[in-house]
């Protein structure tokens, strides 16, 4: 038997590559049952993230000091994982006014790969390292390496380069014991097991990655003072929908009427956080900004300041 034939017969140890034991007749299901099966299997993504909560907690706690010093979040992935990294990085600016320059998405194959497959890009370990060097990754940065398989060469090359540069590395993989988890400073296992459509990690493996990234970045932003109570007070109002949301947030936090909320927002340059401090303390925008600056942007601390 040839080595190639033997390799073909050897089961892939990665759980995401396994054949799901419960759905051998998936193609025979009627549409209603097919939709139910696909939807129900997604519950495994939530369970995987819940199991990873301690690892995510540690990653947030270790990342915070670097980000408080001005470090960046750098996302690295290929295919679905890379696109999820691009999505999380992109959404931080409108949601939390996080500077776009401090959320750096790197995807195997470059921007073209966001919309179409770039053949072989994920297999290029040197390209991952080169992209990290090109982004100027340094000691205060936090690199999130995302790979369902945990073996993607592009991501592993990026992770090695980031560690060599002194950055903190967080690895998200859907398979235990993989090179990505072994190499990362903060390994996060999202053990989702086999997919309903075997090997299609855009399903619950990708969902688990999306939830984990949302959880990590949102927790970081809360701890950095981007939230007051559970209100997204650093929202960047760049369209009519968000302008309306800003007014509602100010009214909810302060009890002010719409006219007062709009006036405060106008005086604050559109900052929900500043407007809230202005109204609750009856101070000018200048004073509100000074109080927030003194408390590193934390609205609650600014409001409690004597």
pLDDT tens for 270-285 read: 999 999 999 999 999 9
User: How many Å apart are CA 32 and CA 34, to the nearest integer?
Assistant: 5
Whether 68 maps to a domain, the answer reads: yes
CB-based contacts of 70: which residues, under 8 Å, 6+ apart? Answer: 102, 140
Its pTM stands at 0.91
Number of residues that make up the chain: 306
Q: How confident is the model at residue 199 (pLDDT cuts 50, 70, 90)?
A: confident
**Burial of residue 276 (number of CB atoms within 10 Å: 0-12, 13-18, 19+):** buried
Domain final residue pick, 166, 192, 223: 223
Mean pLDDT of 296-304: 95
Per DSSP, what are the bridge partners of residue 73? 103, 142
pLDDT at residue 2 in the model:
52
Which domain CATH number covers 195? Answer: 3.40.50.10490
Measured CA to CA in angstroms, residue 63 lies from 103, 169, 170 at distances of 14, 9, 9
Q: How confident is the model at residue 14 (pLDDT cuts 50, 70, 90)?
A: confident
Q: Which of 9-18, 236-245, 293-302 has the highest mean pLDDT?
A: 293-302
> Are 165 and 212 in a shared domain?
yes
> Are 262 and 122 in a shared domain?
no
> Are 212 and 105 in a shared domain?
yes
Radius of gyration of the chain (CA): 22
pLDDT at residue 24 in the model:
83
Total domains in the fold of the chain: 2
Q: How many contiguous H segments (helices) and E segments (strands) does the chain have?
A: 14, 5
Whether 24 maps to a domain, the answer reads: no
CB-based contacts of 186: which residues, under 8 Å, 6+ apart? Answer: 55, 58, 59, 62, 63, 168, 169, 170, 171
> Are 273 and 157 in a shared domain?
no
> Are 88 and 147 in a shared domain?
yes
- Is pLDDT at 154 greater than 90 in this prediction? yes
User: How many Å apart are CA 183 and CA 12, to the nearest integer?
Assistant: 21
pLDDT at residue 11 in the model:
67
Q: Say how far residue 126 (Cα) sits from the centre of its chain.
A: 24
User: How many Å apart are CA 132 and CA 134, to the nearest integer?
Assistant: 5
Percentage of the residues of the chain whose pLDDT score is greater than 70? 95
Would you name the residues annotated as active-site residues? Answer: 91, 122
> Are 183 and 256 in a shared domain?
no
The strand order across the sheet containing 186-189 reads 103-107, 73-77, 142-147, 168-173, 186-189
> Are 171 and 290 in a shared domain?
no
> Are 118 and 147 in a shared domain?
yes
Percentage of the residues of the chain whose pLDDT score is greater than 90? 82
- Is pLDDT at 306 greater than 60 in this prediction? no
User: How many Å apart are CA 274 and CA 234, to the nearest integer?
Assistant: 9
Structural domain boundaries enclosing 261: 240-304
Domain final residue pick, 160, 188, 223: 223
- How do residues 86-132 score in pLDDT, each as one tens digit? 999 999 999 999 999 999 999 999 999 888 888 788 999 999 999 99
> Are 209 and 250 in a shared domain?
no
pLDDT at residue 6 in the model:
45
Q: Which residue has the higher pLDDT, 78 or 19?
A: 78
pLDDT at residue 285 in the model:
96
Confirm if 158 and 106 have CB atoms less than 8 A apart.
Answer: yes
């Amino acid at each position: 038997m040839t080595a190639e034939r033997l390799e073909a017969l050897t089961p892939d140890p990665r759980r995401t590559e396994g054949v799901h034991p419960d759905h051998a007749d998936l193609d025979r299901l009627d549409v209603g049952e097919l939709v139910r099966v696909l939807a129900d299997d997604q519950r495994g993504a939530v369970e995987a993230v819940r199991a990873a909560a301690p690892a995510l907690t540690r990653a947030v706690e270790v990342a915070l000091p670097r980000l408080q010093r001005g470090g960046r979040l750098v996302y690295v992935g290929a295919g679905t994982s890379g696109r999820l990294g691009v999505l999380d990085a992109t959404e931080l600016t409108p949601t939390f006014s996080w500077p776009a320059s401090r959320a750096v998405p790197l995807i195997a194959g470059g921007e073209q790969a966001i919309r179409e497959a770039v053949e072989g890009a994920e297999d290029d370990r040197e390209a991952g390292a080169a992209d990290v060097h090109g982004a100027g990754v340094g000691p205060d940065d936090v690199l999130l390496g995302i790979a369902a398989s945990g073996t993607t060469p592009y991501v592993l090359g990026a992770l090695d380069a980031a560690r060599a540069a002194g950055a903190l590395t967080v690895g998200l993989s859907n398979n235990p014991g993989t090179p990505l988890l072994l190499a990362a400073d903060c390994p996060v296992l999202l053990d989702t097991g086999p997919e309903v459509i075997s090997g299609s990690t855009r399903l619950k493996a990708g969902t688990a990655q999306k939830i984990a990234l949302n959880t990590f970045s949102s927790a970081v932003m809360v701890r950095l003072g981007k939230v007051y109570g559970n209100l997204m007070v650093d929202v960047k109002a760049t369209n009519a929908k968000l302008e309306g949301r800003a007014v509602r947030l100010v009214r909810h936090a302060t009890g002010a009427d719409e006219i007062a909320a709009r006036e405060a927002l106008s005086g604050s340059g559109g900052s929900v956080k500043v407007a809230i401090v202005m109204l609750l303390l009856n101070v000018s925008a200048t004073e509100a900004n000074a109080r927030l600056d003194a408390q590193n942007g934390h609205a609650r601390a600014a409001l409690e300041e004597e």
